Every structure is written in C-alpha cells, then in structure tokens.
Structure 1
Amino acid sequence: MWPFVGRVRELSDVMSALTEPNGKGAALVGPAGVGKTRLTDEVVALLEQTGCTVRRCYATVATSTIPFGALAAMLPADMRTANPLGRAVEHLLAEARPLAIVVDDAHLLDDASIGLLHHVIRHGHARVLVTSRPGERAELWQEGLLQRYPLGDLSRAESDELLERALDGPVDTRSASLLWSASAGNPLYLRELVVSGRAVGSLRVVEGIWSWHGAIELGGRLGELVQENLGRLEPSHRHALELLAYSEPVELDLLASLVQEEALDDLETRALIRVEASGRRTVVRLGHPLYGSLLRANCPPVRAQSHQRALAAGLEATGARRREDLMRIATWRLDGGSPISLDLLAAAAEQAWAARDVTLAERLCRAAVDAGGLDLVAHVFAQVLMHGRAPDQAEATLADVMSGPLSAADLSSLAVTRSMNLYFALGDADAAAAVLDRVDVPELPDEPRDLLKVVRALQNAHHRHVDEVLESTYEPVVPPLSVHMRLVRSLCLVHAGRYREVGEEIDRYDAEVLALHGDTPPPDHGALRVRCFALAHGGHLAEAESLALTTLEMSFDELAFIGPTSIYSVLSFCARMRGHGAQALRLAREGSAKTEEQPLIFDTIALASLASAAALCGDADLAHDALARAEKARRPAWRWTGLSVSLARSWVLAAAGDVRGAANSAMAAADECAELGALGSEAQALHDAARFGVDTSLRLAALTSTMDGPLPLAYAAHATALAHAAPTVLEAVAADFLRMGATLYAAEALASAARLHRTQGNIRAASQASARQALLMREFDGVRTPALRVDGLTHLTRRQVEVARLATSGLTNQQIAEKLHTSKRTVDNHLHAIYGVLGVTGRDELRTVLGPS
C-alpha cells in the first residue's frame, strides 16, 4: 500500500460525519484515481481502532444489474423473496454495534442496494461511507442522507511528498516537476508512472537521488487506465481530442472552426476537455496531460499530419496576430509536411528563442540551415549551440557568416552574439572585446551602438571593479536597450551588497519592460535570478526560496543552462543556511549535473555550491573533487563567478579537519573580493573566517556600514560578539539569525554562547543555551561545522524535546500525554527532568528560555 499523504482535513471531516452523534455518514466524490479508496482505507482503519464493526463492499459493472449484488457479501444467503429488504435489515440489526457500512464505487450500485442503504441511513441502523465519481448517480447525498465531500487532485507539495515517501528517498527537482506535470496530481496516475518507470529503468537512483531519464511513455497498466478514463469515443469526439492533443492550449475559436460544436459540448460535460480563460483569450485544454500522450501515441501518422496541416491553415486564416503564432504555424507545418518559407522559419526561431524554448529554437534553426538559410538564423543558432554546450561550433558558425557581405547593423547584431559566446562560454575576454570593437564603426546607427555598450557593461560586470562598472551603466542609452542596462546595474548592486537597491532597480526594470511591450511580457529569467540572489544574500531566505522555486517551474528548457544552474545554487545556499545539509547537497548535485561537459560561466558557481554542500555534510572527498572541478572550469575572465570557488575553498579545508587553513583561506577570499568591490561576498568570507576563529569584527563592522539587509548586519554582530566573548550578545544574535531562517548560524551562535557561559562559570545559562541549540539542531540533516562541536554540551533527549515544545505551546500535561500516547505521570517526570537540565522552575521560565513553540 502506498503512503497516505495529505487529505488531513478530509480524513477528519469524514471521521466526524461517521462518529458524531447526529452524523449519518459521508460520500467521497471525485474522478478516478484521486485517492478515494486510499482515503477510505484510512477511515476504515480508524473506525476499527474505535471498536466499530465495519462491513465493506465493492460495486462493479457486473453487479450493477443484480438486486443487492454489490452488498451480497454482507447479507444472508437465504434472502426471502417476499420481503428481501426486510430480511436484509433484520440481518444487519444482528450485527455488533456500532456498525459502519462502506461501499466503493457507489455510482455502480443496483436499485435494490440503494434502497437498502436509504433505509439503513434514515433509520440510523448504521453509519454509511460511500465513494463515487462526479456526475453519476447521487441519490444518497442529493437527498441529504449523506454529507458530500469532494476529493480533488493532490497539490504539488503533496505530490512531491508522496513521491519521496513511496520511493524512500529524495527525488530531483526536475524529475518531480516532470512527474507532477504528467500526473497533474492524480495519485493513481502518479503511482503507475512510478511503477512503470522503475520497471523499465526510466526512474532510477543516481548518487542517492531518484531521477527520471528520457521521455514519459504510456504503456502497460498506465496506458490501460488512461484509455479507460477516455472511454469509447465517437469519431467526432476523437477528431476533436486528437486536434487538441497536437495544439493545446488552443483558442476555442480556432478549435471550434475545425470540429463540430456538439462534440466540444459533450467532451466538456464528460470532463475530457477544459475550457478556461487565459488573459483575454478563451482556450481549451485536455482534461488531463496524459490524454494527449495516449492520443498522439495511437494516432496514425497520416492522420496526425492532416491534423497539423489543418491547425496551421486555421491559424493562418485568423491572421496569426499573437506573439507565439509564428512558432505554432512553423511547428505544425514542419510536422504536417507542408511547405514552409525560410522567412517563416527564421521569424519562428526568433520567437522560440525569446520564449526560452531552446529545443524548438534549435529545431527551427536546423530546418532553416538545411534549407540554405544559415545567414537568416545565425545569431539564434549560435546562441542555441552555446546553450547546448557547443561554443566552438557556435564560434565557427558566426565567424563564417560574418565573413560575408553584411550591413553594419547586421554585422553588429552577429558580433554581439559572437562576443557573448566568446566571453560567457569560451572565457576569452580579449577576443570578445575585439569583436565588438571591429563592428563599432562611425556609420553604425544609435540603437546597435547602444547595444554594444550594454554588452560591454555586462561583460565588465563579471571581471572589473563594481564601482567602475556601475559608473558605466549610467551612460545614456535609448529605450528599449536602456532596460537591459538597468539589469546590468542591478547585478552590480548585488555584488556591492546594496540589496534593497537591487529590488528597487528590478521593480523599475519590470515597469519599463511592461510599458515597452504594452501587455504582459514573458518573465525575464535574468531579472528573476538577480532578485533571487539579492533576497538570499540579504537575509530574506523564505522569499528567495519561494521565488527560486517559482522560477524553476517556468518550463526551463534542459538546454538553457544559465537559469537552472544559478537558481539551484540559490536554493542550495538557503538550505545550507537552514542546516538542511542533505537537501543542500541534493540541490547542488542537480545544479551541477551537466558540468562534466564543456564548462560555461555559471558552472563555476554550480561546482562551488556542490563543494560547499558536500563540505557541510562532512563528505571531504566529494568536496575536494567538486572544488578541483570548479578550479578547472574557472576562467580568468570570469573573476566574479570565480569568487564562489574561493569562498568554497575554506569549507573544503574545514571538512578535511584543517580549521587553521580554512581560516587563512577565508581571509584570502575576503581580500580577493575586496579587490573587485564585491562587498557581499567579502562579508560572507569575513563571517566564515570569524566562524573559524579569526577576529574580523572591525573589518566587518566597517564593511557592512555601507550595505543593507539583515544578514550582513547579523554577520558583523556575530563576529563582534565572538571577538568580545559576549555570550548574552551571542544569544541575541542567534535570535536575529533565527528570524531570518538562518538556523545554522543561530545554532552556532548558541553553541559559542554555551561554551562561554560554561567558561565563565554560569552553568545554568550554559545549559539553557545548549538546550536551545539542541532544539534547533533536531531539524538539521547531516550538518558538520567547527562551531558545532558536541563535547561538553548538555542536550535534551528526543522525547524531552517533544514534551518541551508541547509545553511551550500551551498544552496541559494531560493533553501532552494524550498527544504522545503516554501517561500524565511520564509527562510530569519528563518536565521535571527538563527543568533540572535547564535550571528553570516552571513553564513561564521554560518559555522564556526556549521561546514559544
């Protein structure tokens, strides 16, 4: 049986309906596979624990025409024909009390069984629980006999939890997202995806993490379930669904022009399609993502091509006015075998790249190249190659195209792409600058010249002093390129540790982009990344994590290395700050998954993140290996991203037991950061050095006076308290860290406070600080740092921690005993021991020491 996840409220509501004095029963109503039977299993188990007699029956299509067919197992064999209902009731009355009758798939019940349940419910002979599909026979709750509880699909969080519990191990973010998208939260589909994926090897463990490899294919039991839900389809219905399978989401008007209106009405009634608003449009989607997979798999090739030709012609007839229309037409024409012009391929490739659909952009570019149109798609194709980790091929392609006869504007456009590839992929700053210089000629129009300024500033922002680059971002640049210079400026402000200004700059950027587009533009992943970094390193961890997870959900193409790689590093950083070592390591592994290939600029950050996470978990070998790979991937031109490697080096040394070497390395990293004006990274390095025993208080205090955000200020306060050996100040610093969610730093501050209290002879205060540290560390997972030495610490036992938390939440001793399924005397004894360990006399002092639960 799969784990029971979520449904806590539903379980409580159904139990109340079945056990309260005035309750008659409940009906769980939901589509196939949402977990009605699994929830019912939990209800039955709880009912039996209360001493209730449970009789469970299963209605089927086979028993739906047989009187009392579904309930036959709980009725007498000698049913009298004169009064079968009376005999059935008589038999039920002989059952032990209390009695509960549970019926699965009640929509398939025969009339006689429904009549019996009516009688039983009305006369209170038993409590009744049924499961049913929506839109089917509903007499039992429509007449007020049973309380109806609709059951929907699992949320994304519940789906992820179910996956990890079922597989008994972590699942990488990309795979969890893939399975969520495929199952749409349907637990049965999710289960069959897991079962089939494990059977064929698509779902397997890699370095302790479950991941999905390849495409999701429907087969075996999963295919049968999806086909069963689709049911028998009329030709007109299948035609409509197949068109939708190749086009969803598609405008209702376009689909309606190609199919019978009655067919769409029937399909919507059967929940096989969904009609919903999307901005100012009304669009149609399939009722479940797996319907499309099954329909496409079973559609004959000739008919599939016919569908796509019809869709392309239909959309062209409407004028193809929307931003994404050219992409759709080009795709349908390619798949449908229709002629397609080079101009359409080039325009569609531009749109696909702008939408960050790298896979589609590559396909359209290659189609154009095959047709002799390399010059039309060269700038997009080169970016596709760079993201696909083929920068040498991108450089050769652009060099070839730029050798031909081109206008100054076209030449500068290609030079921008070539320079970006040379710098961010090949790490050749001199060649990148030379390419821009060669095309910066007097006859170049203002807009292309402004673009060259933006690209120079962006590249300089990765290897020059932050003040110098910030100054250059205020040079006059005309719209729409001025918004990109604003983005470069926000990146510099992140480096400078001016995190509040970063948010303001990104807000202005978003407003200007919106004004330029006139409608809602596609999300800019660069702006989202910068905001994530500012939130995380400024100390707003919860906001950073939320935005980072949202960004990851924005259908990043696997080839788009820049977005996911840096976002994973933010999430791993936040997990490290919370003391969640295993999670930090998992996220860092995901972010560095492709770094064995051609290294690109953000790979240094990904590998440094992996080294730091491994070091935090005490895996010295992995940390050393990841750091060596990061050093190898590092380029002199990438000084800013290279700082992350220097920051990680100290923790790799610490993981190997060389704390003195770690301290020296942290100070060297701080000096390296100072040379570039990287105040944010410098503050982090100085704080690390303080954690390793170096007095960096004065330097940190001076540094953070020009920064903002609660985290840099807490760095300085922590270092100052350590330098002054002030345990009570350290406890206050721990509270500051805890408010941000930086639980690791809070625990370290408390550990230092406990040691200082003990050294100063204040044993009671030492025990209290130590106990608070222990409470925080109960949530840690495999974390090791020099400050968290366990020698001489007084910890509470796990059960004492539970009792202490419940006591500070306001529960009485009796309520705690009931919650922990133990006796009140045991709770009394635990509290007495806790008070003795902490040196307190009651709950008020306990709450003061530990804080409210």
Structure 2
Amino acid sequence: MWPFVGRVRELEDVMSALTSGNGAALVGPAGVGKTRLTDEVVARLEQTRLAVQRCYATVATSAIPFGAMAAMLPADMRTANPLGRAVEHLLAEQQPLVIVVDDAHLLDDASIALLHHLIRHGHARGLVTSRPGERTELWQEGLLRRYPLGDLSRAESDLLLEHALGEPIDTWSAALLWSASAGNPLYLKELVVSGREMGTLRSDDGIWSWHGAIEFGGRLGELVQSNLGRLQPSHRHALELLACSEPVELDLLASLVREEVLDDLETRGLIRVAPSERRTVVRLGHPLYGSLLRATCPTLRARTHHRALATALEATGARRREDLMRIATWRLDGGSPTPVNLLAAAAEQAWAAQDVTLAERLCRAAVEAGGLSQVGHVFGQVLMHGHAPSQAETTLADVMTGPLSPEDLGRLAATRSMNLHFGLGDADAATALLDAVDVPGLSADVHDWLQVVRVILEAQHGHVATVLERTYHPVAPHLSVHMRRTRALCLLHAGRYREVAQEITAYEALEDPAEPDDGALRMRCFALAFAGHLAEAEALALTMYDRPFDDLAFTGATSLYSVLSFCARMRGNGSQALRLAREGSPKSAERPLIFDAIALANLACAAAICGDTALAQHALARAEKARRPAWRLTGITVSVTRSWVLASTGDVHTAANAAMAAADECAELGAHGSEAMALHDAARYGVDTSLRLTALTATMDDPMTKAYAAHATALAHAAPTALETTATDFQRLGATLYAAEALAAATRLHRTRGNARAASQASARQALLMRDFDGVHTPALRAGDLAHLTRRQSEVAHLATSGLTNQQIAERLHTSKRTVDNHLHAIYGTLGVTGRAELRTVLGLP
C-alpha cells in the first residue's frame, strides 16, 4: 500500500461527519484516491468503539439483490420481507455500526434501499465512495455529507512520490510524472511501478530520475486502456487524430471528424473542449490517453493522420505564429515533402519558443534538404545550447564560406562569435571574427548589432564598471533591449540589486509579453536572493516549474537550481540545498558551457555545508576545470566557493586566506556583490573585514550586505550583544544559517566573560533556530561544541578530525609537532574524550 500523504483536511472532515453525523460520501473520478482515503478512515474507526462493516460493489453484483452486501447478511434471505430481515440481522450488533461501501454507484437497488433505511432511521452511519453523477440519492437527500475529491496538486504529488520512493526525486522527473498522471494518484502509482520495472525510473546518487519515454508495460497499459473503453472505429480515428495534434482547434478537428463523434467523446469524458484565448481547443481527457494512443497507432495510419492534419491547417491559411511549426512537424511525421524555407522559418519559431528538441529536429531536416545556409544561424545556437559548441563552430564556419552578403555574413558572425565565446571560451577568436566582418559600408543595423555583441561578450570578462558604461552607447532602438539586458547583468555583478530590478522592468516593457525572457527571470532571482529577499527569490524561481516540464531542458534554466539551492543553504536546509544543486549540475564532464561552472560551484558549496567533503572537493575540481579566461565573471563564483570547501575539511586558516584572495579577485573586476560575500566568509573564518564591508555598503544598500558588514564588525570587536542584534537581522531576512552562527559566537563570548545567563539565552535562541536545520556543518557552528577551547585549540581540533597527522597539522599551522601534541592533549582533557574518533562525535561529524 502506498503511503497516505495530503488529504489532511478531507480526512478530518470525513471523521467529523462519521462521529457527529450520518456519514459521508467521497465523490470523484476513478483513481483519484477515494479508496485510499477510505482505508485511512477505516483504520481510524477501528480504533474507536464503532463496529465497521465494509463491502465492495462491482459490475457483477449490480444485478443481484443485496449482491454487494451479501457477506454481511444471513445466508437464508427467503422471506416476504428481505429488507426487514437484513435490517434485523445487522442491528443484532451491539456496537454503533458504520457501513462502508466502495463504488456505491454500482450498488443494486436492494442494497441502496437497505443502506438508505439504516441511515435514515439512525441505525447506522455510512461512508461510501462513488463516481460523479451516479446514484446520488444518499447525499442529494441530505443523508450523507458529500465531499468531492479532486486530483493531487503538484506539491501533494511531489510529497507522495518522495514518501513512496523513500528518496528525493529530481524536479524534472517529478514534473514529468505529475504532468503525465494529471495528479491522479492511481495513474501516478502505476507510472512509478511501471517505470521501476522497466528501468526508466531509477535512483542515481540517492536521487530518483526518469530516463526516456513513458512505456505502457504491465498494469499501466491495461488501466489506461480500460478507462478508454471499447472504441468504435470512428471514435478511435478521432482520438488518434487528437493524440497526434493536441491541443488543437475545435474547428480544425471538426473538419476531419463528424460532429456527433466529438459530442459522444466529450460526454464520455474522453476529450475536453475549452476556450483558450480567442479560440476553442480540444484536448484528450487525460495525458496518458495520448501516450497510449500514439504508442499503439500503426505507423502507416499515424502518417496518414499527420498528413491530414497538415493539409487541413494549410487550408486555413496558417494565420497563427505557431502554425508553421505545426505544419512542418506534421509534414515530417507524415513523410510529406517539406520545403526548406518552411523548415527554416519553423526552426526559428521553435528556437524563439525555447523548444530546443523541436528546433534541432527542424534544423537537421533543413540541412538534409540542402538548406544549411538558410538555417545555419539557428542550428548553431541550438548546438551550442545542446552542449555541442565544437559542432556548432564547424556548422557556422561552413555556412560562412558560402556566397553571402556582408549583412548576412555579419549576422552569422555574431552568432558564431557568441558560440566561440560562450561555448568554446575563446574570447580572442570571437573578437577577431567580429572585427573581420565589421567592414566599411556595412548597414547601420548590422553594425549596431555587432557592437551590441561585443558588449555582451565583454560583460563576461571585462571590468564591470567599464562594461556598464559601454551599455549606454547609442544603438538602433530595436537593439536597445540587448544593451539594457547586459546593463542589468553588470548591475547584478556590481551588487546594485535594486537597480537590477528597475532595469529589467524597463527593458521588459520593450519586449513581446507573449515571449517571457528567462534571462530576466534568472537575474531577478539572483538579485533578490543576494539582496536578502530569500522568500521572494524562491517564489519567483519556482514559477519556472509551473511551466511545461520540457522548458526545464533549456540550458539557462539550470541556474535557477543555484538560486533555490542558495536560499536553502541560507536557511540551514542542507539536504535540500544539496539535492537541488545535484539536479542543476551537469552530469557530463565533456565540454562545459558557461553556466556549468556556476552549477558545479554551487554543488561544491552545498556538499561542503552538508559535510560531504569528498563530493565538495570533486565538484570544486570540476568547476575549476570548467573555468575559462573568457568567463572571468563566472569564474569568481568558483573562487568564492573554494573557501567553503576548505572550511569543510577543518582547515579554517587556509579557508580564510582563500576567501580573502577571492574578495581581492572580485574587487579587481568590480564585482562587488561577490566581493561582499567573500569578505563575509573571511570574517566568519576569523579575519577582520569590517572596514571593507562597511565601505561597500556605501554603494550597496541592500539588507544582506548591511547584515554582512554588521556581522563582521561585531566579530571584529568581539561584541556579543551586537552579534545578537545581527542574528535578528539575518533571521528577519530568512538567513537563519548566519543568524545561528552569530548566536554561536555570542554564546562563546558571553561564556568567556563569565555571563552565564546571557550565554544560556543566546544558546537557547541558537538551538531554536537550528531546530529545523538539516545536516549543516560549518566551522562557526561546530565551534559551539568547542566553546571552552581557545581559537588555536579549536583550529587544531578541526584539522585533527579531517584526517591529518600531527606532523601535517604542524606544517599547516607553521608550528612544531610537539606543540600540536600538547594542544591535542589539552583538547582531549577539556572535552573528556580519548581520541580522534570521539572528537569527531563531539563535533557532530559523520
């Protein structure tokens, strides 16, 4: 039996109806979880003084008097008054009676009459499950309270999956399963069972993920086929057409299918007709219907369906923006000749819609048809974002050897230079290419675009302030949005988070609202998170997962995992931070892209805070390898992360040096946002960075940077009261990790000064904050267990638990082995331990 999650309110409502009323009716479609909720109710009822009698109505018993209730009635019912005999038998039970009926819509008339009589006259209470619109006598007459039961929400589905699988499932797979099941618990269960049996759902590194397409093996296929029922040829034809095209306009489908067929399918719930903007569209009644119909439709018949759809849509004039994509796709699927210009136009639309899979398919079809020159600029971008920048370079170089106008050559060079820069990390080659095509006489439009591309590339390796100034250079009005987008990125690096939001709002007003800018979404998320608005950042990032799950495959979306992981880390939710970081990190070590270095650095940071030193070091090494000189601004994320990884090994001294080196690197580039983070890390590791952080608050007026500066100042002045105030500031922002660290430091200082009461109060606040922490290990928190040790003893203790010998510790701290021996002897005596194993236990290390 699957675990029972969610439905808390429904469970309490039903129990209330049974204990203080006549009972309840759970009404909902098949598979929605009526029986599972009933099981939970019955389990609770059996703990009370109520006697429970349960029966199951079926199609087979629906034609037999008292068929469903036969098991609870006497064997001999031959009497002139069988209803009275049944009532008399049931009332022989001394305890209050509850009759539970599954699938009450299949009850025979005699059973309905018996149940009706018992409940109306107060002889029993009832709990029934039923499909909507059938056998409604029991609740329409007010005998039972009716409780509609709907499908699971996304959050409930995710929770059920995690409980059922015993380990987390990645966000993309959870979205896939929720979308495929449409929140129906029975379908969700069978998808999981089928996926595990076929190996498409499997656990890797403690996280479940789905691989490949949904296959209909075992009970899943039988269940979906059963719900479809027996179909007449005309009905199957209509459903197969819809499976090949959904969602499709009603008028288009009606041109291929008789109206009475559509009416019948809608009445049976096999299709849904609903308005969508200014048109009426048709969808299948459940996503799995489409998956099964496509899987079982013979190849030749499917090709015929696709050709018919393409012809019908072309006959309407293909007026909508997405029509070219549909016609091209249906022509390819139907085996019809498809003009190169149609494939090229459709590929551009697919790329603009961020449907990477379709864009690549259309591009490859165009190339096979000899249209490389027409589709090359799109194909290059598709390949770059598909982690194939070398292939993109080859493709774009081939296109540029053809006979092209200077304008076409310039546009292709712009795309190729971005691939050289962002894909291959070759800034010099990218710049040289732009210089080569920016020739005298070039149209102003293309010349301006080349200037914009130069600024976009420089924003990844130039000084932030210099590039920011260049974004104000005038360009053609329709290109200004690109300049403003780059300006927002520079402001983000500069730590001017409020201006980031203002700039994004300004340039979003210039864009097509029908095509949301995911780059803007990502920048907003990072600006909110880094400024200390964690809840807003999380809420905005999660809107990405409300979109169709295919969008998550788009490369840039992975950076949203970094935002969510950062927020989880700040809240002390280590396991969640690590899970999100794993999901967002590249699985392959082949040819990393610019986003991959950020994702890997984030994974290293999350692993470090969870105490998984091996994973942290491995991820950091991959992140270092993913860095390119062309991506200096991205690379500083790796530099800032290095101190977290070093601190996780217990080498706080080296971690502090790494944090200061990262801060200096950031300052050299004008990346003050990252500089503030690195300086705060150095302060957490014992370096006085209060003056530099305070100076940064002159241009960075966000609450998080101010809290960083206050924390560093309180640590530098060894001021416990100020640390407690800082903890309050961090707590207000949701950064409970830093709040707990500030309180840990305040506790130690109060104890050192003999103020036991203040120490106890600060410690209690820290314990309360850390109540919801999950697997978090930082030097400042571990030092709370070493409150009676000196700073040097604490450092020796951490190094000793990292696996270093006394001689290695001495070399690391530039002291003698004898001194380290003495420190360890004093540590063991103070803490009452006898060796390193017990010391690790005291520190809470695995």
Is TM (by shorter chain) over 0.5?
Answer: yes
Report how far residue 4 of structure 1 moved. Answer: 0.7
- The residue type equivalent to 1:8 in the other structure is V
Q: Which amino acid aligns with 1:99?
A: L
Query: Which of 612, 615, 631 is equivalent to 1:619?
Result: 612
Map of 1:152 onto structure 2:
150
Shift of 1:777: 1.4
Q: Does residue 328 in structure 1 map to residue 308 in structure 2?
A: no
Retained in 2: the 8 A contact 1:53–1:97?
yes
2:785 equivalent among 775, 785, 791: 791
Match among 283, 286, 291 for residue 285 of structure 1? 283
For residues 286 and 402 of structure 2, what CA distance do their matches in structure 1 show? 50
Are 1:457 and 2:431 an aligned pair? Answer: no
> Corresponding residue for 2:499?
501
Structure 1 residues 699-734: Cα deviation after superposition (integer angstroms, max 9, x where no partner): 101112211322111111111111122222222211
User: After alignment, is 247-256 or 108-117 more displaced?
Assistant: 247-256
Q: Percent identity?
A: 78
2:248 pairs with 1:250:
yes
| Aligned position for 1:635 | 628
Moved more, 355-364 or 751-760: 751-760
1:4 pairs with 2:4: yes
SS of the residue corresponding to residue 699 of structure 1 reads: helix
Which 10-residue stretch deviates more, 7-16 or 444-453?
444-453
* Post-superposition offset of 1:629: 1.1
Residue identity matched to 2:97: L
**Secondary structure of 1:566's partner?**
helix
In 2, Cα distance between equivalents of 1:736 and 1:350: 49
AA partner of residue 30 (structure 2): A
Contact 2:355/2:551 (8 A) holds in 1: no
- Contact 2:240–2:294, Cα closer than 8 Å, also in 1: yes
What pairs with 1:681-692 in structure 2 (closer than 5 Å)? Answer: 681-692=674-685
Query: 2:538 maps to what in 1?
Result: 545
Match in the other structure for 1:406? 404
Q: Which amino acid aligns with 1:791?
A: D
User: Which of residues 342, 345, 348 is equivalent to 1:347?
Assistant: 345
Q: Is the alpha carbon distance of 1:595 and 1:639 closer, same or farther for their aligned partners in structure 2, counting shifts above 3 Å? A: farther
- Which amino acid letter does the alignment assign opposite residue 93 of structure 1? L
After TM superposition, the structure 1 = structure 2 runs for residues 13-162 of structure 1, keeping only pairs within 5 Å, are 13-20=13-20, 23-162=21-160
587-596 vs 533-542, which deviates more? 587-596
Distance 2:595 2:554 in 1: 8
Moved more, 387-396 or 56-65: 387-396
Q: Is the 8 A contact 1:767 1:793 kept in 2?
A: no
Q: Distance in 2 between matches of 1:739 and 1:226?
A: 50
The 1:176/1:359 distance shift into structure 2, 3 A limit, reads same
Partner of 2:519: 526
Contact 1:388 1:559 in 2 (8 A): no
The question of whether the paired residues in 2 share the 8 Å contact of 1:356 and 1:556 is answered with no
Cα separation, partners in 2 of 1:332 and 1:511, compared to 1, 3 Å: same
Superposition map of 1:336-375 within 5 A: 336-375=334-373
SS in 2 for 1:467: helix
The total of aligned residue pairs comes to 787
- Aligned pairs for 1:647-666 within 5 A: 647-666=640-659
Please give the alpha-carbon distance, in whole angstroms, between the structure 1 residues aligned to 2:539 and 2:693.
29
Secondary structure of the equivalent of 2:52? Answer: strand
Which residue matches 2:511?
A: 513
CA distance in 2, matches of 1:555, 1:106: 37
Instruction: Please report how far the alpha carbon of residue 405 of structure 1 lies from its aligned counterpart in structure 2 after TM superposition.
Output: 1.2
- Residue number in structure 2 paired with 1:606: 599
Alignment map for 1:698-847 (pairs within 5 Å)? 698-789=691-782, 790-791=784-785
Check the 8 A contact 1:683/1:704 in 2, yes or no.
Answer: no
Within-5 A mapping of 1:573-584: 573-584=566-577
| Residue of structure 1 equivalent to 2:307 | 309
Gaps of 5+ in 2: 789-846
* Cα drift, residue 470 of structure 1: 0.9
Aligned residue for 1:439? 437
Match of 2:383 in 1: 385
Aligned to 2:230: 232
CA distance in 2, matches of 1:574, 1:418: 36
Match of 1:586 among 563, 579, 592: 579
1:265 is displaced (CA, Å) by 2.0
Q: Which moved more, 1:182-191 or 1:231-240?
A: 231-240
Aligned to 1:668: 661
Other structure's SS at 1:637 match: helix
Q: Do the aligned residues in 2 keep the contact of 1:552 with 1:564 (CA within 8 Å)?
A: no
Cα distance in structure 2, aligned partners of 1:740 and 1:251:
48
| 1:219 matched residue in structure 2 | 217
Tell me, yes or no, if the aligned pair for 2:407 and 2:443 is still in contact at 8 Å.
yes
The letter of the residue matching 1:326 is L
Q: Give how far 1:476 is off.
A: 1.2
| 1:545 CA drift (Å) | 1.4
Letter in 1 for 2:685: F
**Other-structure match for 1:798:** none
The root-mean-square deviation of aligned C-alpha atoms, in Å, is: 1.5
Structure 1 gap segments, 5+ residues each = 515-519, 795-853
Q: How does the TM-score come out when normalised to structure 1?
A: 0.91
Is the 2:586–2:600 contact (alpha carbons within 8 Å) kept by the matching residues of 1?
A: no
> Shift of residue 558 of structure 1?
7.8
Tell me how far apart the structure 2 counterparts of residues 480 and 69 of structure 1 sit (CA, whole Å): 75
The yes-or-no answer on 1:566 pairing with 2:564 is no
Q: Give, in whole Å, the separation in 1 of the partners of 2:772 and 2:151.
A: 30
Report the Cα offset of residue 386 of structure 1: 1.2
3-state secondary structure, aligned to 1:512: coil
1:391-411 Cα deviation digits (max 9, x unpaired): 112111111211121011111
Cα distance in 1, alignment partners of residues 459 and 215 from structure 2: 45
The code of the aligned residue for 2:566 comes to F
Q: Quick check: 1:199 aligned with 2:197?
A: yes
Distance 1:578 1:629, change over 3 A: same
User: What's the offset of the Cα at 1:49?
Assistant: 1.4
* C-alpha separation in 2, matches of 1:54 and 1:653: 62
Q: Once the 2 structures are TM-superposed, how far is the Cα of residue 562 of structure 1 from its aligned partner?
A: 2.8
The Cα shift of 1:135 comes to 2.5
Query: Which amino acid is 1:489 matched to?
Result: R
Q: Aligned-pair distance for 1:62?
A: 0.6
SS in 1 for 2:327: helix
User: What is the deviation of 1:70?
Assistant: 0.3
Shift in Å, 1:335? 0.3
Q: In structure 1, how many angstroms separate the alpha carbons of the residues matched to 2:214 and 2:612?
A: 34
Measure, in 2, the Cα distance between the counterparts of 1:540 and 1:278.
35
Shift of 1:446: 2.1
Amino acid corresponding to residue 690 of structure 2 in structure 1:
S
Closer, same or farther: CA 359–465 of 1 in aligned 2, 3 Å: same
Q: Distance in 1 between matches of 2:149 and 2:577?
A: 34
Shift of 1:156: 0.4
Counterpart of 2:4 in structure 1: which amino acid?
F
Q: Which residue of 1 aligns with 2:810?
A: none
Q: Distance in 2 between matches of 1:75 and 1:762?
A: 76
1:422 aligns with 2:420: yes
SS at match of 1:5: coil
Once residues 475 and 346 of structure 1 are traced to their aligned partners in structure 2, the CA distance between those partners, rounded to angstroms, is 33
SS of aligned partner of 2:197: helix
Task: Give the letter for the 1:182 counterpart.
Answer: A
Structure 1 equivalent of residue 394 of structure 2: 396
User: Which runs of 4 or more aligned residues in structure 1 lie more than 6 Å from their structure 2 counterparts after TM superposition?
Assistant: none
**Cα shift at 1:560:** 4.9
Superposed CA offset, 1:165-185 (max 9, x none)? 111111111111111111111
Secondary structure at the aligned position of 2:540 is classed as helix
1:295 aligns with 2:288: no
Question: Which AA in structure 1 matches 2:185?
Answer: P
**Residue 278 (structure 1) shift:** 2.1
| 2:480 partner letter | S
2:161 alignment partner AA: L
Which deviations, in whole Å up to 9, do the C-alpha atoms of 1:501-544 show, x marking residues without a partner? 11111111221114xxxxx4222111111111111111111111
Q: CA deviation at 1:372?
A: 0.9
Give TM-score, length-normalised by structure 2: 0.91
Find the residue that maps to 1:521 and give its secondary structure: coil
